[in-house]
Amino acid sequence: MNPMLNLWLIPILPLAGAAINGTLGKKSSRQAVTTIALFFSGAAFAMALWVAMRFSSLSLPYTEFFAHWIRSGSFTADFAFYLDQLSLVMLLVVTGVGFLIHIYSVGYMWDDPSYYRFFSYLNLFMFFMLTLILAGNYLLMFIGWEGVGLASYLLIGFWFTKDSAASAGKKAFIVNRIGDFGFLIALFLLIQHFGTLNFGQVFSAVSPLPAETASAGLLTAIGILLMVGACGKSAQIPLYIWLPDAMEGPTPVSALIHAATMVTAGVYMVSRSHVIFQRAPMALTVVAIIGTLTAFFAATIGITQTDIKKVLAYSTVSQLGYMFMACGVGAFSAGIFHLMTHAFFKGLLFLAAGSVIHAVGGEQDMRKMGGLRSYIPWTFLTMGIATLAIAGVPPLAGFWSKDEILWKAYQASPVYWAVGVITAFITSFYMFRLLYMTFFGDYRGGQKDAHGHASHGHDAHKHDAQGGHGHGEPHESPMVMLVPLMILAVLSLVGGLVGIGNRFEHFLAPVFDSGLIAGSSEALEGASHATELLLMGISVLAAFSGWFLAYFLYNQRPELPPKIANGLNGLYETVVHKYYVDEIYAAVFVKPLIEGSTRILWQGVDRNVIDAAVNEAGDGAKHISDEVRHMQSGNIRSYAGWVAAGSAAVIGFMVWAWTVGR
């Protein structure tokens, strides 16, 4: 019998922090707000560690019932929590990285007037994300799913007085909702066919079903619909468009939500539903194709971006594509492994980028940076480590996880692997491009006002309050911001080592192997070890080639890139404008919707039908009373006439009743 872990405390602690800061924060001192925020998120992390320590003594999966929720006929959904190896990994990542980012934010947001609101929202996000991870049924997970969308909206539009930030928040939420529609339909299908949303019951109901290899059936439909939801939340094609815009939010938000945790919710959800996906190969193929395409597509856009955060945003989309590629070929544990390492190095990249932006007083355009490594050495060091990690240079974390994915992808189809390797090359290229443009060469900023363009430097709004900062020399960030950077750098260095010898995969095996169809085996170790080493070599080669190309173009011959861009003018313009996807969506979906809504719904229905009905009713009453009022003429004789006529009617009725009665 399992001991009571009180898992419910893990989400509730940040919720308490959010509530306290939200209600009392405005009048409290910054120190008080900081203490509350750090205490509750730290407490959640501590509890996660405590659960991890007791983990080996549990019989898994561990379920914990908290409270009744829905009891409707035969359908029940309760507040119940579910813990297995997969949730534990996610739990540690979310609470750990989350806590580090909380600490970082203390320094980053110190001068913001809405300091308390930021931490309230951040804690609220932690609550929803932890609910999502620990949920024991799809419905509770969906609450967390929606909640993180809400928190994302609140945090992207944190500086809501800025139009672009408010619009970005709206865009994120609306695009997310489109994905959620797919998710909901999948839930409805689950309820319809299995009568429950409880993980245990659903998976045990799905397990005996055969794989749908011949034709698409129910499980394929559910799988594809779940993937639609994941596309929205995890920014895959076609619903990725919100993530680059989400960079309007403060950098810690980008680090936490749009790199490390929220966007990985889709990957987690797909992995959690592996039982369904393992029986719907067509759905898995869809997942793999979407992931691969997105990885490549976003990487190509990343080459041309000049805003440091936008590069990282497209990089996130691309790396998420890798994770879905892994899930799509059935290597769920590889996907989760990459999720974990990605949280480390992408979180670090964003935090370091925030440090860079802080250093140059709000400027985000890389063309105005350069040569910063002498000014901000610690940031340079940590960011460099992260870049090495993401490029896949061994023995850092990114190498192990990316390589695992590529190896598994190769076993499924060499096409996936080929696209993956090319994308790895491109990834390495644009990341080192970022590094060289930012930290090497001559410092190109500071000629004009270092507060930078108002359109870029929304951080400038914060720096304005500081005054005196940002003019002239770039400066290093305070220790409270640097320490999380260093911790994440260490994790990026060694975090991948858990993957050596397939230890990570074996850790998660009880989760994923349990979903396998009896008889088939995911162990495709038929392919030889030699092939694996060969492929490993090729991906390392790709990483170094990308590095070298970036070194050549941006360090040695910085005049070349503009010439190349001019030479490939049409192609370059298309890529710089993100393949005009936003414009296409606006023309095909948004504009007709708005037009239709204006013409048909507003003017047609609301004004001409609903308003008109009400107005006509009022006018009608007025007209009728206008006619009837002539009865009150003040003339006695007309009154008497009406009385006589009325009495005649009554007498007539009585006579008629009398004759009928006879």
Partner 1 sequence: MSFHLILFLGFGAVCVGGAINLLAQRHPINSALSLIAVMAALAGEYLLLGAEFVAAVQVIVYAGAIMVLFVFVIMLLNAGEEEETKGSRVAVLIGVPGMLIASLLVAWVVLRHSGTEAVAIGALPGHPTDIAQLLFHDFLLPFEVTSVLILIAIMGAVVLASRPDSTARKVN
Partner 2 sequence: MVPLSYYLLLSGFLFACGVVGFLIKRNIITIFMSIELMLNGVNLSFVAFAAHWHALAGQVFVFFVMVVAAAEAAVGLAIIIAVYRTRETLNVDQVNLLKL
Type of residue numbered 551: Y
| Under rule CB under 8 A, residue 519 binds partner 2 | no
Q: x/- string (CB under 8 A) for partner 2, residues 575-614?
A: ----------------------------------------
∠ Cα 185 191 194 (to 5°): 130
82: helix, strand or coil: strand
Task: Work out how close the CB of 640 gets to partner 2 at its nearest, in angstroms, rounded to a whole number.
Answer: 5
Type of residue numbered 15: L
| Under rule CB under 8 A, residue 640 binds partner 1 | yes
Q: Which of 56, 161, 632, 659 binds partner 2 (CB under 8 A)?
A: 632
Category of 325 on φ-ψ map: left (φ > 0), alpha (ψ -120 to 50) or beta: alpha
| Under rule CB under 8 A, residue 657 binds partner 1 | no
Angle between helices 138-156 and 218-233 (to 10 degrees): 20
Task: Work out how close the CB of 626 gets to partner 1 at its nearest, in angstroms, rounded to a whole number.
Answer: 18
The DSSP element (H or E) to which 81 belongs, if any, is strand 75-83
Q: Which of 494, 534, 600, 645 binds partner 1 (CB under 8 A)?
A: 645
Least Cα distance to 529 among 502, 568, 509 occurs for 502
Task: Work out how close the CB of 597 gets to partner 1 at its nearest, in angstroms, rounded to a whole number.
Answer: 54
Task: Work out how close the CB of 603 gets to partner 1 at its nearest, in angstroms, rounded to a whole number.
Answer: 46
Query: CB-wise, 53 or 631, nearer to partner 2?
Result: 631
Residue 629 partner contact from partner 1, partner 2, none using kind-dependent CB cut-offs of 5 to 8 Å: partner 2
d(CA 72, CA 77): 9
Task: Work out how close the CB of 660 gets to partner 1 at its nearest, in angstroms, rounded to a whole number.
Answer: 13
Query: CB-wise, 639 or 653, nearer to partner 2?
Result: 639
Q: Which of 23, 29, 521, 638 binds partner 1 (CB under 8 A)?
A: 638
| Under rule CB under 8 A, residue 633 binds partner 2 | yes
d(CA 382, CA 363): 20
Q: Which of 644, 657, 660, 661 binds partner 1 (CB under 8 A)?
A: 644
70: helix, strand or coil: strand
Query: CB-wise, 53 or 628, nearer to partner 2?
Result: 628
Query: CB-wise, 4 or 636, nearer to partner 1?
Result: 636
Task: Work out how close the CB of 636 gets to partner 2 at its nearest, in angstroms, rounded to a whole number.
Answer: 5
Contact between 169 and 156 under an 8 Å Cβ cutoff? The reply is yes
- Strand ranges (DSSP E) for 132-193? none
Which residues, listed in sequence order, are joined to residue 65 by a DSSP beta bridge? 80
Residue 632 partner contact from partner 2, partner 1, none using kind-dependent CB cut-offs of 5 to 8 Å: partner 2
d(CA 310, CA 241): 12
Strand pairing report for 75-83 and 62-72: antiparallel
d(CA 648, CA 631): 18
Least Cα distance to 81 among 188, 9, 151 occurs for 9
Task: Work out how close the CB of 623 gets to partner 2 at its nearest, in angstroms, rounded to a whole number.
Answer: 16
| Under rule CB under 8 A, residue 648 binds partner 1 | yes
What 8-state DSSP symbol labels residue 634?
S
Contact between 428 and 538 under an 8 Å Cβ cutoff? The reply is no
Residue 59 partner contact from partner 1, partner 2, none using kind-dependent CB cut-offs of 5 to 8 Å: none
Residue 645 partner contact from partner 1, partner 2, none using kind-dependent CB cut-offs of 5 to 8 Å: partner 1
| Under rule CB under 8 A, residue 628 binds partner 1 | no
Distances (CA, A) of 380 to 302, 363, 375, 551: 20, 17, 9, 16
Task: Work out how close the CB of 625 gets to partner 1 at its nearest, in angstroms, rounded to a whole number.
Answer: 18
Query: CB-wise, 530 or 631, nearer to partner 2?
Result: 631
With CB under 8 A, what is the number of residues at the site for partner 2? Answer: 11
Residue 652 partner contact from partner 2, partner 1, none using kind-dependent CB cut-offs of 5 to 8 Å: partner 1
- Of residues 611 through 630, those in contact with partner 2 by CB under 8 A are 629-630
Q: Which stretch binds partner 1 (CB under 8 A): 112-120, 204-212, 461-469, 640-648?
A: 640-648
Place of tokens 């996660």: 48
Question: Can you read off the two tokens belonging to residue 38?
Answer: 């750090």
With CB under 8 A, what is the number of residues at the site for partner 1? Answer: 18
Burial class from Cβ neighbours inside 10 Å (0-12, 13-18, 19+) for residue 46 reads middle
Residue 642 partner contact from partner 1, partner 2, none using kind-dependent CB cut-offs of 5 to 8 Å: partner 1
Q: Which of 448, 608, 647, 657 binds partner 1 (CB under 8 A)?
A: 647
Question: Can you read off the two tokens belonging to residue 62?
Answer: 């561990």
Query: CB-wise, 610 or 657, nearer to partner 1?
Result: 657
Type of residue numbered 550: A
Q: Which of 635, 660, 661, 662 binds partner 2 (CB under 8 A)?
A: 635
Which residues, listed in sequence order, are joined to residue 76 by a DSSP beta bridge? 71
Task: Work out how close the CB of 629 gets to partner 2 at its nearest, in angstroms, rounded to a whole number.
Answer: 5
Residue 587 partner contact from partner 2, partner 1, none using kind-dependent CB cut-offs of 5 to 8 Å: none
Contacts (Cβ under 8 Å, ≥6 apart) of 509: 333
Residue 609 partner contact from partner 1, partner 2, none using kind-dependent CB cut-offs of 5 to 8 Å: none
Query: CB-wise, 442 or 626, nearer to partner 2?
Result: 626
Residue 415 partner contact from partner 2, partner 1, none using kind-dependent CB cut-offs of 5 to 8 Å: none
445: helix, strand or coil: coil
Question: Can you read off the two tokens belonging to residue 126?
Answer: 């932690």
Task: Work out how close the CB of 652 gets to partner 1 at its nearest, in angstroms, rounded to a whole number.
Answer: 6
- Of residues 6 through 25, those in contact with partner 2 by CB under 8 A are none
Q: Which of 642, 657, 660, 661 binds partner 1 (CB under 8 A)?
A: 642
Least Cα distance to 508 among 285, 229, 268 occurs for 268
Contact between 233 and 208 under an 8 Å Cβ cutoff? The reply is no
d(CA 465, CA 476): 18
Task: Work out how close the CB of 154 gets to partner 2 at its nearest, in angstroms, rounded to a whole number.
Answer: 60
Task: Work out how close the CB of 639 gets to partner 2 at its nearest, in angstroms, rounded to a whole number.
Answer: 10
- Of residues 636 through 655, those in contact with partner 2 by CB under 8 A are 636-637, 640-641, 644
Half-sphere exposure of 10 (CA within 13 A, CB side): 32
Which residues, listed in sequence order, are joined to residue 82 by a DSSP beta bridge? 63
d(CA 13, CA 127): 8
Task: Work out how close the CB of 637 gets to partner 1 at its nearest, in angstroms, rounded to a whole number.
Answer: 4
> Which residues lie near partner 1 (CB under 8 A)?
633, 635, 637-638, 640-649, 651-652, 655, 658
> Which residues lie near partner 2 (CB under 8 A)?
629-630, 632-637, 640-641, 644
